[in-house]
Amino acid sequence: MKKHNLTPWFKISLLSLAIVALYGTLMRYKIAFSFPYLDQKNLLHAHSHFAFGGWISHLLYCGLTLILSRFLPEGKDKKYYRLIALNLLCAFGMLLAFTVQGYGAVSISFSVLSIIVSAIFAVYFIKDARHFPPQHLSKPWAITGLLVNVLSSAGPFVLAYILISKNFQHELYLSAVYYYLHFQYSGWFFFGAVAIAAAYLPAGAAWLNNYFKIFTVTLFFTFFLSVLWAKLPVWLYTVTVIAALVQLGAWFMLLLKVKRLLPHIKPQYPKWINLFFYAAVVALTIKFVLQAVSVIPSLSQLVFGIRPIVIAYLHLVLLGIYSLFFIGYLFAKGFIQASATAKISAFAFFSGVLLNEVLLATQGFAAFSYLPVPHINDMLFAVAVLLFGSACMLFLSQLSKQKSG
């Protein structure tokens, strides 16, 4: 049965990662030094939209297509390749449009088109999911992730309305931002990544469905952790606290279950590849712990008011969890040839992620005591350069003909 080759699409994601890092470096440079060109807010919008659409979502679409395509009749996977290409086109369109104009007609048009692509992808996938073998572990996670991805689009629509109408309401604006981030980070990204990982678990791990139910139900209630400042009713706050604690407990129980399966998972990957997966798991564990701690309203309001801590949390998720997971995945599945340059570049990026989190956390905690950290912006810029340089080298390593290590 002839199937299309996804390898070029996976390799393109490395270019996307380099571009995401480039924009991060530009923003850090503007903070540390004088650079009058390019608007910082426009760069931020371009950076975040492209990181979501051109990097993480692109890889999730590719990974889910890879899982499903092996069960589809010949030629039935073509439509997914077109949608992957169209999503990438939208991501690059948003990158350029947000850079030039911020929120405007062109950028919003590309954003709306990307949402339409996500909806079409979800419809096609759900329809074709009948080809999965019975009780396939990835199926419920993938479908839920795709649906939540579409559901999260309500956030950008509200933001576009606020910015176009100029009817700015601070609480509505923050709610729309956190709504979108929650259902992307904790919904689409999480469920999509678990779906990809579940495809390589033994078929007997049917207990995974129990955890799917837990994370699906609690997903909607944990959103309110982001808006505790809105003075929630007591009953809703209570349910939110319970949901956060249940998620944390379920995650630790899931880890114990998976740990027992590790010796039976085939193929076994080299230890240096597994290091990326372990780091992603540690970062995700920290996320669940921080989420549980944030149930304290006074602490939540204080933390959300300190920008470096917010940025550290967002980068913990985007870089520490999903970027490291996907770099490990690309190596494990052979989409990245493990040349010496590729390995060095990957571990340099790994180091940059770790240093970035340490510096942002230091800056954030110092803000509690109103203590300045000498040269912190210079150091963050240096780390941004490390991330950009290593991402570029990782991409370029796949263009040169080197022997795999």
Token duo for residue 366: 């110092």
More confident: 76 or 220? 220
Q: Give yes or no for residue 403 having a pLDDT over 50.
A: no
Instruction: Domain ranges for the chain, please list them.
Output: 265-405
For residue range 77-113, list pLDDT tens digits in order. 899 999 999 999 999 999 999 999 888 889 989 999 9
H or E element, residue 297: helix 297-304
Distances (CA, A) of 286 to 4, 114, 313, 332, 356: 38, 31, 10, 24, 16
pLDDT for position 405 = 40
DSSP 8-state secondary structure symbol assigned to residue 225: G
| Confidence grade of residue 404 (pLDDT, cut at 50, 70, 90) | very low
| Confidence grade of residue 381 (pLDDT, cut at 50, 70, 90) | very high
| Confidence grade of residue 146 (pLDDT, cut at 50, 70, 90) | very high
What is the average per-residue pLDDT within 306-325?
Answer: 90
**Mean pLDDT over each residue of the chain, to the nearest integer:** 90
What is the average per-residue pLDDT within 21-28?
Answer: 95
What is the average per-residue pLDDT within 383-398?
Answer: 96
Amino acid at 324: L
Q: Give yes or no for residue 316 having a pLDDT over 90.
A: yes
Q: What is the DSSP secondary-structure string of 128-146?
A: HGGGSPTT-THHHHHHHHH
Q: Is the omega angle on the peptide bond into residue 133 within 30 degrees of 0, that is, cis? A: no
DSSP 8-state secondary structure symbol assigned to residue 316: I
> Which positions ≥6 away from 121 have C-beta within 8 Å?
61, 80, 83, 87, 146
